[in-house]
Amino acid sequence: MVPAFIALVSAHSSYLFGISLDFDKELKSGAIGAAQEFLNTSGEPLSFDLDKGLIMVHFEPEQRNYVEVNTIDYSVQGMRNENLKHKDEEKVLTKEQGSEIARAFFETLPNNVKSELKYNPEISEVDGTYFYKWFRHVNGVLIIDENFMVNVDAVNGNIIAWRLSIFDYPKESIGTVPAISRNVAAKVAELSFNAPPVKGFEPYLIIYARDPIWVNRLQGQFYPYFVGVSGVDGSIAFTGTVPGEVPKGYGTSQVEAVETDLIKAIYNKK
């Protein structure tokens, strides 16, 4: 029988609302206990969601106050508390000042986590708050959908939210060297869908799960769409949208392919 926490973690790519934890009393008590300790409260949570492998323990409705708990070790990997947000005052902090607050919090992360996160200089602003992000990279290649976020209030300087994604695989088990080149992957995408590439788009490499994937963009009949081609065997990994945020300006023009025996056999097949 698969343990409950493994079943939950396997839903890393899912966001589920209103889940029940009654099927596993240990999991439920562990998640609640971690959240209560973090908030220094004895109050009971109202509900639970699953946010890509993290249990969201809600203490107020409408996602105003929650804690995100790792199902494996019950560590806290995120929170949001709208009660820390400003009330109608004018913005005081600049993006640079907010960045200092976010970076100071980033420094509290374990060194092995920090070493794989790269700061993104593009800062978004929503409703008087700043969002600062770091994206996970291994050997310079972006690991899709694994990042760290800090949301700083631009009026009072409070950190009203933060979140550290689950790192699905250790860097030692992640492949960052493709076996097929960028040009071959682009041709695979074009031939597979009988569509031309979008003019001016430069294919780039990401890690999806733990394999290198070339991201291409094709021009469909009505609109352009992305196609991910496996750098391992040339198969199609995804179509439509990229399964995670890609920071603006990201590229991998210096990546060199190293052919494997499988790829050499395919090339030499008559």
Q: Examine the domain organization and report whether 79 and 97 are in the same domain.
A: no
Distance CA 196, CA 88 (A): 50
Q: Are residues 64 and 3 part of one domain?
A: yes
Last residue of a domain, one of 121, 137, 169: 169
29, 35 contact by CB (below 8 A): no
User: Which structural domain range is residue 147 located in?
Assistant: 88-169
- The domain boundary residue, chosen from 84, 101, 117: 84
- Give the chain's domain count: 3
pTM of structure: 0.88
Tell me, yes or no, whether 177 lies in a domain.
Answer: no
- In this structure, the answer to whether residues 146 and 189 fall within a common structural domain is no
Q: Judge contact between 82 and 65, C-beta under 8 A.
A: yes
- Shared-domain flag, residues 140 and 73: no
**Residue pair 134/118 in contact by the 8 Å Cβ criterion:** yes
Is there a single domain that holds both residue 49 and residue 69? yes
Q: Give, for all 270 residues of the chain, the pLDDT tens digit.
A: 344 444 444 444 578 999 999 999 999 999 999 999 999 999 999 999 999 999 999 999 988 999 999 999 999 999 999 999 998 778 899 999 999 999 999 999 999 999 999 999 999 999 999 999 999 999 999 999 999 999 999 999 999 999 999 999 999 999 999 999 999 999 999 999 999 999 999 999 999 989 999 999 999 999 999 999 999 999 999 999 999 999 999 988 677 777 666 656 666 665
Closest Cα partner for 259 from 182, 174, 181, 186?
A: 181
- Final residue before a domain boundary, out of 37, 59, 84: 84
Is 175 inside any structural domain? no
Residues 66 and 121 in one domain: no
Q: For the domain that residue 261 is a member of, what is the CATH number?
A: 3.10.450.40
- Do 92 and 74 lie in one domain? The reply is no
